[in-house]
Amino acid sequence: MSKITGPFVAVVTPFDAEERMNEAALRRQVARQAAAGNGVFCAGTNGEFYALSVDEKRRAAELCVEAADGRVPVLAHIGEISTHQTIALGREIARLGVKAVSAITPSFIACSQEELVGYYRRVADALTVPLYLYNIPARTGNTLTPEAARTLADHPNIVGIKDSAGSQDSLDGFLAVARERDDFDVMVGPDSLILHGLRNGAAGCVSGLGNVAPLTLNRIWTAFMAGENEAAEAAQAHFGQLRKELYALGFPPSMVKRALCHAMPEVGHSRGPVLIDGEADRAIATLAARYAEAADGSQE
């Protein structure tokens, strides 16, 4: 497999007024990211995987691969609570042409590191498509340690980790593992740490905020790769300020989607039980107007 690098956006899953998937709008979001030069990560946290049925997850991946049409790579999230469910979904998604898949640690069940290692080994054994580990302990209640990742990196079908723990210490621990070998990569999850991760060996990132500001996200990557340090720092600072202001208003994926909805109403609202009160919504609308980047990839 060719190495996966660069910026990816964890695209939102658009819904209509009846909370049904809006397939045409999803295709347009993929095209928008491709135009900005960003890869696509579908049915992840910002894609509301927790609110999607298995059929919807499969369809979302299918639509994203079709809409990308080879212009940019597509990654798909397959994580479920049980090993059996994750393998079943992974096998279905693998047939659709995604470049790789990623699975969060199981949620609800309190897992030991031994159980997490066993979980990922079984999933990787069962799939032909490459697998990324996905660490997001604030949402799952289970933390994958760098030591466990080091063990799992020996598996030939485990190619890296998406770390969304939210701390520099966590990210640095996985980056240390990646620097030990050339067959295990780190994809940065926290939007505030993208440039830090790239400077310390990350292969790329998977961003939620890239839904709102895809050009700024891509600029962090392109400026870094070109050695334009001041431009990379300026783009990261702009991105970081958006993150600080938007995420202060509520659950980050819901804030991202509502901000995008203000700029592009066809993406719709988050599925219930998410509610955003009027005061927060007005603040989100103000931020969306200030940071919005157009659907065609131009700066508004």
Q: Which two tokens stand for residue 40?
A: 């696509």
Checking if the pLDDT of 299 tops 90, the result is no
pLDDT in tens, 136-171: 999 999 999 999 999 999 999 999 999 999 999 999
Residues 6+ apart with CB under 8 A from 119: 83, 86, 105, 106, 111
Q: Let me know if 122 is exposed, middle or buried by CB neighbors in 10 A (0-12, 13-18, 19+).
A: middle
Domain boundaries, the chain: 6-291
Per-residue pLDDT of 238-294, as tens digits, reads: 999 999 999 999 999 999 999 999 999 999 999 999 999 999 999 999 999 999 775
Q: Is 247 a catalytic residue?
A: no
> Residue 212 annotated as binding?
no
Which residues, 6+ apart, have CB-to-CB distance to 265 below 8 Å?
Answer: none
* Collapsed DSSP state (helix, strand, coil) of residue 52: coil
Catalytic residue among 119, 120, 134, 291: 134
DSSP string over 239-259: HHHHHHHHHTTS-HHHHHHHH
Phi (first) and psi of residue 35, to 5 degrees: -65, -30
- Measured CA to CA, the distance from residue 52 to residue 44 in angstroms comes to 10
Q: Which two tokens stand for residue 170?
A: 């966590």
Nearest C-alpha neighbor of 57 from the set 83, 86, 30: 86
Q: What is the DSSP string of 141-206?
A: S----HHHHHHHTTSTTEEEEEE-S--HHHHHHHHHHHHT-SS-EEEE--GGGHHHHHHTT--EEE
How many helices (DSSP H) and strands (DSSP E) are in the chain?
12, 8
pLDDT of residue 296: 46
| Topology adopted by domain 6-291 | TIM Barrel (3.20.20)
The mean pLDDT value for 1-19 works out to 95
The yes-or-no verdict on residue 11 having pLDDT over 80 is yes
pLDDT for 292 equals 79
pTM for this model (two decimals): 0.96
Exposure string for 24-46, b = 16+ CB within 10 A, e = fewer: ebbbbbbbbbbbbbbbbbbbbbb
What is the reported pLDDT for 297?
44
pLDDT in tens, 212-223: 999 999 999 999
30-49: average pLDDT: 97
Catalytic residue check, 132: no
Among 57, 99, 162, 257, the one annotated catalytic: 162
